[in-house]
C-alpha cells in the first residue's frame, strides 16, 4: 500500500470528524489494523510489500484467533471506526472472517486495497455486508504506467476488474494514487477516470521510508516540492480548501507555542496495530510499541502505555514548536521519527512543501518565507536564485484539458478526528492525519 502521507493533517476522507469538549478526554474512536505487510504487487514506492507467500512473515503475523479477540477488545473499549489495511489485506485467507466479525461488532470498517485480488466471491461478501468504504490505489491511467509502478504484468487489468466488480454491486468505492515522477503526467487522467465512475479521487506526493526493512524510497521517485505544489495549483477546488484551512488554523499568532510534541489524535483518539500485534500511536510512529500478540489486553496499552508517550514536551526544536504552519505540515512526530529517528526532527522536504503551499494561498500573510529559510535556515529552495522558484508543471497534467473537479480535502470527512481543547491554537486543534 502507499505511505500514509497525503495532504498533511487536512485531507484524508477515510476519517470522520468527532470532537471532545473536555480537555484531556481520551477514547480509541478511530483504529487502524494492519492485517499484513505482505502484498502480491511490488510497487516501486511502497513502504511495505513483503512477499505474499513468505512463511516466516505468516508465522510472525497475528493468527486468526488473536485477530478476532483483538477486534472484540477494541470494540469493547469504544472504537467506532476501523481501517483494515496492509500490505494487501486480501492475501490473508482469513480476511473475510475477521472483516465480518468486525462488522458484526458494529465497527464501521474502511478497507484499503490495490483491488487486484477482489474476486466475485469477495465482492459478493462486501455487497451483502457493506463496508463503510473501500479505498483502492491506482498507480496510472495506462497499463504501461500502472505496471511500471507495480512491476507485475497483468496487474492493471486485475485492478480495473476488481473496481468493476465492486461498482456493479453498489459497494462504496474511492480511488487514490501516489503522485510519483513516473506517473505524475497521468494524475489528471486518473482523476477523470474516477469522475467517469462517479467516485471521488485523491492523490498525494509524499513518500515514506520503508517500515519493513528501513530503506528509503524517496530518491528519483519523490516529486520535488515545486512539482507537488504545481499539482495542487492545477486544482482550483483543492487550492480553495487549502486557503480556507489556512485561514482557520494557520494565521500567525504572536507568542503562540505548543507545549507537547504530540498535538494530533495519535494515542488520544486513534491507534494502530501492526500485523505482529504491536500497538502503536500511529502508522508512522513505530519506534515504541506495546505488544498485544501474547494476550496482553488492548486497554492496558491504551490506558497506561500511550499517555506516557504523549506526555513528551518539546525539548529542542523551537522552529516547529512555534510555527503557525504546523497544522499544514507533514512533519508530524511520527513522520519525524520515521525519517530522522527523533520525534522532534525536521524533514526539510516537507517543510519546503508546506512553505510553498502557504505562500500559494496566503502570500506574505503566512508570516514565513517562501523558501522555508525562516524555519530551516537552509535547503534546496534556498539555494535557488530569488524569484526563480518555478511551480509550473512539466507537460502532462498541466497541459491536460480535463475539467473534472478534485474532491475537496475538507468536505465530507469520514473518520477524521479532531480534539477540541479549552483554548485551541493552530498546534492544538488539529485533525488527525489520515492513514
What pLDDT shows up at residue 416?
32
What pLDDT shows up at residue 215?
61
What pLDDT shows up at residue 425?
31
pLDDT band at 409 (very low <50, low <70, confident <90, very high): very low
Model confidence at 434: pLDDT above 50 = no
Which residue has cell 535547503?
Answer: 379
Average pLDDT over residues 164-173: 98
What pLDDT shows up at residue 17?
40
Q: Domain 30-224+260-310's class?
A: alpha beta
Instruction: Report the C-alpha gap between 151 and 41 in whole angstroms.
Output: 7
What pLDDT shows up at residue 397?
30
Model confidence at 399: pLDDT above 60 = no
Candidate from 77-86, 268-277, 330-339 with smallest mean pLDDT: 330-339
Tens digits of residue pLDDT in 26-70: 899 999 999 999 999 999 988 887 899 999 999 999 999 999 999
Model confidence at 169: pLDDT above 50 = yes
What pLDDT shows up at residue 48?
84
What pLDDT shows up at residue 218?
61
Mean per-residue pLDDT of the chain: 84
Model confidence at 12: pLDDT above 90 = no
pLDDT band at 414 (very low <50, low <70, confident <90, very high): very low
What pLDDT shows up at residue 418?
36
Tens digits of residue pLDDT in 203-238: 988 887 777 766 665 668 989 999 999 999 998 888
What pLDDT shows up at residue 151?
96
Which residue has cell 480534539?
Answer: 419
Q: What does DSSP say about strands 133-137 and 108-113: parallel, antiparallel, or unpaired? A: parallel
- Chain-centre distance of CA 221, in angstroms? 18
Tens digits of residue pLDDT in 109-152: 999 999 999 999 999 999 999 999 999 999 999 999 999 999 99
Model confidence at 368: pLDDT above 70 = yes
Candidate from 73-87, 361-375, 386-400 with smallest mean pLDDT: 386-400
Amino acid at each position: 500500500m502507499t505511505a500514509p502521507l497525503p495532504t498533511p493533517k487536512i485531507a484524508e476522507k477515510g476519517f470522520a470528524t468527532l470532537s471532545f469538549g473536555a480537555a484531556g478526554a481520551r477514547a480509541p474512536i478511530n483504529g487502524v489494523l494492519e492485517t499484513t505487510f505482505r502484498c502480491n504487487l511490488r510497487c516501486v514506492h511502497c513502504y511495505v510489500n513483503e512477499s505474499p507467500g513468505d512463511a516466516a512473515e505468516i508465522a510472525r503475523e497475528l493468527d486468526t484467533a488473536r485477530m478476532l479477540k483483538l477486534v472484540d477488545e477494541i470494540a469493547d473499549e469504544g472504537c467506532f471506526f476501523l481501517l483494515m489495511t496492509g500490505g494487501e489485506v486480501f492475501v490473508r485467507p482469513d480476511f473475510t472472517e475477521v472483516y465480518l466479525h468486525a462488522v458484526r461488532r458494529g465497527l464501521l470498517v474502511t478497507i484499503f486495497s490495490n483491488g487486484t485480488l477482489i474476486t466475485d466471491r469477495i465482492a459478493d461478501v462486501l455487497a451483502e455486508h457493506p463496508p463503510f468504504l473501500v479505498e483502492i490505489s491506482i498507480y496510472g491511467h495506462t497499463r504501461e504506467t500502472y505496471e511500471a509502478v507495480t512491476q507485475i504484468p497483468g496487474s492493471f487489468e486485475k485492478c480495473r476488474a476488481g473496481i468493476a466488480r465492486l461498482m456493479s454491486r453498489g459497494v462504496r468505492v474511492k480511488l487514490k494514487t501516489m503522485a510519483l515522477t513516473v506517473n505524475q503526467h497521468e494524475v489528471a487522467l486518473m482523476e477523470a477516470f474516477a469522475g467517469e465512475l462517479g467516485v471521488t479521487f485523491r492523490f498525494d506526493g509524499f513518500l515514506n521510508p520503508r517500515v519493513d526493512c528501513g530503506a528509503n524510497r524517496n530518491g528519483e521517485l519523490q516529486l520535488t516540492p515545486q512539482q507537488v505544489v504545481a499539482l495542487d495549483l492545477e486544482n482550483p477546488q483543492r487550492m480553495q480548501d487549502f486557503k480556507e484551512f489556512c485561514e482557520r488554523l494557520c494565521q500567525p499568532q504572536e507568542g503562540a507555542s505548543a507545549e507537547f510534541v504530540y498535538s494530533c489524535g495519535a494515542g488520544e483518539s486513534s491507534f494502530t496495530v501492526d500485523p505482529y500485534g504491536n500497538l502503536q500511536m500511529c502508522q508512522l510512529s513505530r519506534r515504541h510499541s506495546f505488544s498485544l500478540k501474547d494476550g496482553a489486553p488492548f486497554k492496558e496499552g491504551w490506558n497506561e502505555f500511550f499517555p506516557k508517550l504523549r506526555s513528551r514536551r518539546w525539548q529542542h526544536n523551537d522552529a516547529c514548536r512555534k510555527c503557525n504552519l504546523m497544522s499544514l505540515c507533514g512533519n508530524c512526530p511520527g513522520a519525524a521519527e520515521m525519517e530522522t529517528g527523533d520525534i522532534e526532527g525536521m524533514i526539510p522536504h516537507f517543510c519546503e512543501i508546506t512553505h510553498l503551499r502557504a505562500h500559494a494561498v496566503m502570500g506574505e500573510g503566512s508570516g514565513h518565507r517562501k523558501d522555508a529559510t525562516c524555519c530551516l535556515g537552509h535547503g534546496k529552495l534556498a539555494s535557488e536564485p530569488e524569484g526563480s522558484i518555478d511551480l509550473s508543471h512539466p507537460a502532462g497534467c498541466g497541459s491536460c484539458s480535463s475539467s473534472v473537479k478534485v474532491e475537496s480535502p475538507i468536505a465530507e470527512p469520514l473518520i477524521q478526528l479532531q480534539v477540541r481543547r479549552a483554548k485551541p491554537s493552530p498546534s492544538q486543534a488539529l485533525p488527525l492525519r489520515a492513514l
